[in-house]
Structure 1
Amino acid sequence: MPFPLNSVRATYPALTDGFAYLDGAAGTQLPQSVIDAMSDAYRAGIGNVGGAFPASHRSDAIVAACRAAVADLVGGHPDGVILGPNMTTLTYRLSRAIAGPGDEVVVSRLDHDANVRPWIQTGATIRWAEVDPVTGELPVEQYAGLISERTRVVAVTAASNVLGTRPDVPAIAELAHRAGALMYVDGVHATPHGPVDMRALGADFYATSAYKWSGPHIGAVVADPALLETIRPDKLASSPDTVPQRFETGTAAFADLEGVTAAVDHLAAMVPGTGSRRERLLASMAAVEEHELELFGVLIEGLEQLANVTLYGKPARRTATAYFNVAGHAPRQVAEHLARLGVNVWNGHNYAWELTGVLGIRDSGGAVRAGLVHYNDRSDVDRLLEGVARLG
């Protein structure tokens, strides 16, 4: 069945302001159900977990429900869902517990810096997987020469946050596991754009951020609970030593966790269906991917027809994310011009620090990023193309 775009858009209050929200790669808007879930949590009364009173019990239930929801979204186990303020914070914490001096870690120049710098700063020996600057692809073949018996971790993205490139993560994982290495997969940009199965990817750790898929600013890293039992992070002496709680510092934002569960339920319900929440998520996100890529075809074709536009990357498999520059105009100037026309886009390196260096544009302001998500429609794309054309 066709993606029910109009009914989906109607659930997002922010979309009524008249702007074309093509900034989804940096964070999505929230549906009313998520907003209501968070406010209802505060309205009902919540306390810290582990208490003897009802408000604390509500928080206990919120945390458990959030772990189950994230596990359903990515194909993991609830007991392996580590929750925190964002992916970057969690990756810093986990990297220090997993790797250190004497280890080798393979990182890629395709990745967001949050899956690069934390590993470099562990003191481990770093080996680099290079990206093709023309196609934006991350060739798998190079990993055979990068991974050895000394490799502790291979850190790689499931989708580039600026080029949209979807590297062959399962093939990389096969090489990593053959050498006894762990796979740390950054799924922040990939998760909003299609079905996720972390086991099929070969991810030992799968990182995601709810604000990229219609939730609040909460991050999660999902792993096999048995694997987490073997890892000992630094922690307060008084805090729980159970898994996954030993990886979570401080008091959680319980109302936000309620919003995460509501966001997963929202994604599962966008397309009518039956079955478990996991089954409904797979069907709904498959429809999302089809809708986004169809719309993206219009966007890319339109940008390619503009002689003053330079597009970066042309990977075979990608998310609906375009990264481009307009001749004679700095990326920030393009973004400001489009904002005046009611079109939201991002500009800059977007934390793709290594990649923009490879492309030779990091020091000159990066580029303009337009990222489609499930609530975007043809009028959003047309307004962007018309706005860029005016700069010609």
Structure 2
Amino acid sequence: MPYDIARVRAAYPALTEGYLHLDGAGGSQVAAGVADAVAQTMRTAVANRSTANVAGQRAYRLVDEARAAVADLVGGVPDGVVFGPSATALTYTVARTVSRTWRPGDEVVLSQLDHDANVRPWVQAAETAGATVRWARFDPDSGELPTDQYAELVNDRTRLVAVTGGSNAIGTVPDLPAIAKLAHAAGALVYVDGVHVAPHGPTDLAQLGADFFVTSAYKWSGPHLAAVVAAPSVWEPLRPAKLIPSADTAPDRFEFGTPSFPLLAGVRAAVDHLAGLAELAGVADPVDTAADRRARLRASLSAVRSYEESIFERLLSGLAALPAVTVYGSPRHRCPTVSFRVAGQAPAETAAALGALGICVSAGDYYAYEYFQAMGLRDSGGAVRASVYHYNTADEVDRLLTELDRLSPRG
């Protein structure tokens, strides 16, 4: 059955404004059901968590439902889901906590492909502890992150390996299971930045070998809230700095202050929306919405991946046919994201020209600091990024390519 893109797009009110949103890597638009869930929660009596009254009991339910939803999304368990305002904030929390036991001589392995949110917290934690940072390098031509280098980087002094699930600059999806196997054999923890990869296909923490997996709801049709997921046994020995009266049980002890209950409602609604995408797109028979949400998520995100790959291949082929465009990286396994430059133009100039035409893309380094530094592109403006999300269309890709051709220098 063909993917019914019209029905999918109808679920996103912002798309009616007429702009072309071709940078899902920077954040997706919000599904209608998510906005409704947030608004309804704000219209309903909700207090801080308490068993003493209805408003407090509702707060407990909102937290529990959001934890269960994220657990279904990534293949974790609800008691292992920790919420926070952003992936950056959560990674700092975990880095400060995990590193309390590090000592001089300990080592941390980081990747040049990562968003700085999965680099700087670990670099700074290592500096504080006197630990050593070792770097996994990418191939500058292909953009691949060779797995074999980890056999030399990881040893019995390694305490943690931090690696991206998918590069937010060029889309590279490293071989996480192989990297995790090497890390675990040395007794190291594995922290995966899953922010960019989670929206584009099914996620299974056990299969990936991730001890920690961080994800941001605003990248998968939800509100600006993030979660880091680990097994309860991984959280158990960790003790973050916290207020004395606050909960001392996991996952609550890693969450500081009162959570945003409306945004937690939005997180649950966003996961439910993702779970229903296969049915919405007409590529799966309608099912009872109370059926196994985890199974529905796998089916929906598999359908999403197939659709996005077809649109993204059209984008890559079109960019390759433009003589004035230089594309960076050609990894074999990737999220639907590409960085490029137009000859003779600063990336910000290209993005602004497209923005004036209603085509929304990004320019700069998008916090992929180490990648652009290693490529020698950061000081001259980075690159332009385009990425595909499951509501994008072939016509939108074609319009981007047409306008890039018009913007390209002649002669």
Q: TM-score range, shorter-chain basis?
A: over 0.9
Aligned counterparts of 2:237 and 2:181: Cα–Cα separation in 1: 21
Report matched runs for 1:353-392 at 5 Å.
353-392=369-408
38-47 or 60-69: which moved more? 38-47
Cα displacement (A) at 1:53: 1.6
Aligned counterparts of 1:323 and 1:244: Cα–Cα separation in 2: 37
Q: Does 1:282 align with 2:289?
A: no
Aligned residues: 392
AA partner of residue 189 (structure 1): H
Kept in 2, the 8 Å contact 1:295–1:378? The answer is yes
Partner of 1:110: 113
Aligned counterparts of 2:214 and 2:192: Cα–Cα separation in 1: 6
| TM-score for both structures, normalised by structure 2 | 0.94
AA partner of residue 323 (structure 1): S
Q: Does 1:252 align with 2:259?
A: yes
Cα displacement (A) at 1:51: 5.0
Pick from 196, 199, 210 the counterpart of residue 217 of structure 2. 210
Give CA-to-partner distance per residue, 1:339-376, whole Å, 9 cap, x none. Answer: 11110000000000000111110111000000111110
Cα displacement (A) at 1:101: 3.8
Partner of 1:135: 142
Aligned counterparts of 2:31 and 2:219: Cα–Cα separation in 1: 13
AA partner of residue 120 (structure 1): V
Report matched runs for 1:166-205 at 5 Å.
166-205=173-212
Give unpaired runs (5+ residues) of structure 1.
none
Q: Secondary structure at the match of 2:134?
A: strand
Aligned counterparts of 1:308 and 1:35: Cα–Cα separation in 2: 41
Aligned counterparts of 2:275 and 2:22: Cα–Cα separation in 1: 22
Aligned counterparts of 2:399 and 2:357: Cα–Cα separation in 1: 8
The structure 1 segments of at least 4 consecutive aligned residues displaced by more than 6 Å after TM superposition are none
Give unpaired runs (5+ residues) of structure 2.
none
Partner of 1:9: 9
AA partner of residue 277 (structure 2): M
Q: Does 1:309 align with 2:325?
A: yes
Report matched runs for 1:322-337 at 5 Å.
322-337=338-353
Give CA-to-partner distance per residue, 1:23-44, whole Å, 9 cap, x none. Answer: 2111011111000000000111
Q: Does 1:93 align with 2:109?
A: no
Percent identity of equivalent pairs: 55
Aligned counterparts of 1:290 and 1:101: Cα–Cα separation in 2: 46
AA partner of residue 283 (structure 1): A
Kept in 2, the 8 Å contact 1:163–1:323? The answer is yes
Cα displacement (A) at 1:242: 0.4
Aligned counterparts of 1:350 and 1:163: Cα–Cα separation in 2: 11
Aligned counterparts of 1:69 and 1:338: Cα–Cα separation in 2: 37
Aligned counterparts of 1:355 and 1:250: Cα–Cα separation in 2: 35
Q: Secondary structure at the match of 1:300?
A: helix
Give CA-to-partner distance per residue, 1:78-110, whole Å, 9 cap, x none. Answer: 000000101100000100111244331100001
Aligned counterparts of 1:375 and 1:55: Cα–Cα separation in 2: 36
